[in-house]
Amino acid sequence: MLQTFLILREHPAPPANATVTHDEDSEVKPVAERYIDPVELFTAAGYRIILQEIKEETHINVRNIDAIILHLPFSALARFTHLQSLPTIWWCEDEPVLHNCNIATEIDVILSPGLTVNELHWYVSLASKNYLRRTQWKQEREQLLAKLEDRKWIDRAKSILSEIKHISEAEAYEFLRKQAMNERRRLVDVAVSIVKVYSLLKEQNPRGRTK
């Protein structure tokens, strides 16, 4: 559960207690207070806030932080994509929509002035879910890329073994598998060793034939 937020901003906070006003002629009934400043809104919602103003060489300490709020113009967002290891919220204030603009995929939810405390709780929940979905997708993507890279090494090793031993690729794969079992190593590690040794021998004897 997100509780502690780091707010990064480039400018001082607006006057204290600045809230959105309501039309006096509107129907008389309890109206949820709407806030225009993220510090006041998140504080009113019961969250812990750490405020940090951004300067040229500001060090961002994300220890003991559950999420980050970027109270920054769109043009400044790219500077903080390295903080993507945490749920990230963008507080957007009256910026014109740029057609065909690319909003960083690390932004988990976008907020704007005029939210109520109850609305904020929903958005924070959404940010948390989006972050979990994003990190899961990233992990799955990294695992898939790793498997593809392993497959490249194994296929290359099979090709080398087929060439130098005059065997089929199926037999080469079986050779790799047995070698890995005998050495108690991963199949891909054996394949990498074979490819690297073969490449080294080729470099040392470019005109000769590797046996």
Q: What is the pLDDT of residues 143-168, one digit of tens each?
A: 999 999 999 999 999 999 999 999 99
Domain membership of residue 134 (yes or no) is no
149 to each of 115, 156, 157, 189, 191, how far by Cα in Å? 47, 11, 13, 12, 12
Q: What is the pLDDT of residue 18?
A: 45
Q: pLDDT: is 55 or 30 the higher one?
A: 55
Domain membership of residue 177 (yes or no) is yes
- Whether residues 189 and 101 share a domain: the answer is no
- Whether residues 25 and 93 share a domain: the answer is yes
Report d(CA 67, CA 86) in Å as an integer.
Answer: 5
Split at pLDDT 50, 70, 90, the class of 14 is low
Count: domains in the chain: 2
Q: What is the pLDDT of residue 63?
A: 80
- Whether residues 169 and 111 share a domain: the answer is no
Helical ranges in 83-207 per DSSP H? 117-165, 169-183, 187-204
- Whether residues 64 and 167 share a domain: the answer is no
Which residue segment(s) compose the domain that 76 sits in?
4-115
- Whether residues 87 and 188 share a domain: the answer is no
pLDDT in tens, 112-138: 999 999 999 999 999 999 999 989 998
202 burial (CB, 10 Å; 0-12 / 13-18 / 19+) is middle
Domain membership of residue 125 (yes or no) is no
Split at pLDDT 50, 70, 90, the class of 28 is very low
- Whether residues 111 and 11 share a domain: the answer is yes
- Whether residues 111 and 149 share a domain: the answer is no
Q: What is the mean pLDDT of residues 181-198?
A: 94
- Whether residues 175 and 96 share a domain: the answer is no
Domain membership of residue 31 (yes or no) is yes
| Mean pLDDT value across the chain | 84
Q: What is the dihedral of CA 108, 114, 117, 122, to 10 degrees?
A: -30
- Whether residues 78 and 152 share a domain: the answer is no
- Whether residues 98 and 157 share a domain: the answer is no
Q: What is the pLDDT of residue 175?
A: 94
Q: What is the mean pLDDT of residues 42-51?
A: 94
- Whether residues 8 and 110 share a domain: the answer is yes
Domain membership of residue 21 (yes or no) is yes
- Whether residues 106 and 24 share a domain: the answer is yes
CATH of the domain at 168: 1.10.10.10
Residue 20 has pLDDT above 80, yes or no: no
Q: pLDDT: is 46 or 29 the higher one?
A: 46
Q: What is the pLDDT of residue 21?
A: 44
Residue 203 CB neighbours (<10 A): 8
Domain membership of residue 120 (yes or no) is no
Domain membership of residue 140 (yes or no) is no
